[in-house]
Structure 1
């Protein structure tokens, strides 16, 4: 398996999204693969990569905890340096946290979080929002309404930067899986997330 996966759109890409995985699943997990395909169908070039601990797991099959945040940031920083053209940083969960912390620093045109870990499940007092109170570039968070890492009523009370955009996926869990009773599908919510992300990128380019 190569260390980077690139999903190219059919025509000239409108931008490149550097997309980081979450803490527990690799860059080619079903969620990441479906999301990248939906984004590339919107004309976005998607570059997926793996943090060092996940790359090591791929080599020997042994599960490891995520690297310390400074190492995760440096890894994404190095990946961003290799991308030419208009760049957006993005990620799933932990990867979203890294992307949102680095986007302004690396000169990205914006960041997109697919399921942001506002707090650990069951521990709403341990928030991870300090850097989201004043963002240095356009930002979008796409979140399921049933996400245990941050639900609408919790997030509404946070002092987030008014410029930070939030889009809620009805009935979605952390991986955008909806309740069967909703009549929705995970694929439909992933495609909705890609639609919103594409509109955000188009607006950020103006």
Structure 2
């Protein structure tokens, strides 16, 4: 493992059976939890929701670990099959638990699916599913609800009100909480003419996640 330390964060490279992955740690003073969140199939850890959480949660005593899957570290443009994504996540897990704190597994879109599929076997404290892709756009019959409902641990879904991969009202009841970010799309972008600004949308998201995490510890 190699580490590069900056002013407020450090980057750690981790070898997995799917290739080399990377964790960017944003530490919290007196941390009580680690929130490990990965990106989706079409972007990286620069996603607005992940960055919003990284900016807010360390002040709430939650260390944030931004996880880059091996395919992303390798510079590839397309994510591999779900099985390979799960392999990469499993390989990262020992590094995520190294601080000796409970770890909440999370991610956005494809990363949320990975967290749900592996949470129980990895003994995650809970799952945070950002923009969970309940179904492909325009194909509600191809539901992935079983992944969310089968997570086996407490879960919170944060979903944009106009997400084509599944609007909040499409989610089935279950043992998970659900927070809607009004007017937001799959990337949590809100239209300029929406009644709330982009900053307000991110404040809503990060505030809801912080409150939920407070209830876990």
Partner of 1:20: 38
SS for the counterpart of 1:204 is coil
Are the equivalent residues in 1 in contact too, given 2:48–2:187 (CA < 8 A)? no
Partner of 2:24: 5
Are the equivalent residues in 2 in contact too, given 1:42–1:194 (CA < 8 A)? no
2:192 matched to 1:185?
no
SS for the counterpart of 2:111 is helix
SS for the counterpart of 1:35 is helix
Runs of 4+ aligned structure 1 residues displaced above 6 Å come to none
Correspondent of 2:128 among 97, 107, 112: 112
Cα distance in 2 for partners of 1:197, 1:137 equals: 16
Give the gaps of 5 or more residues in structure 1: 58-62
Are the equivalent residues in 1 in contact too, given 2:158–2:181 (CA < 8 A)? yes
- TM-score (norm. length: structure 2): 0.82
SS for the counterpart of 2:116 is helix
After TM superposition, give the deviation of residue 120 of structure 1 in Å.
Answer: 1.2
Q: Give the number of the structure whose residues are more often strand, by fraction.
A: 2
Between the two proteins, the alignment pairs up a number of residues equal to: 195
2:192 matched to 1:176?
no
Are the equivalent residues in 2 in contact too, given 1:116–1:150 (CA < 8 A)? yes
- TM-score (norm. length: structure 1): 0.86
SS for the counterpart of 2:193 is helix
Cα distance in 2 for partners of 1:168, 1:6 equals: 27
Alpha carbons of structure 1 residues 94 and 109: separation in structure 2 relative to 1, 3 Å: same
After TM superposition, give the deviation of residue 31 of structure 1 in Å.
Answer: 4.5
After the TM superposition, which of the residue ranges 15-24 and 77-86 deviates more from structure 2?
A: 77-86
Are the equivalent residues in 2 in contact too, given 1:5–1:48 (CA < 8 A)? yes
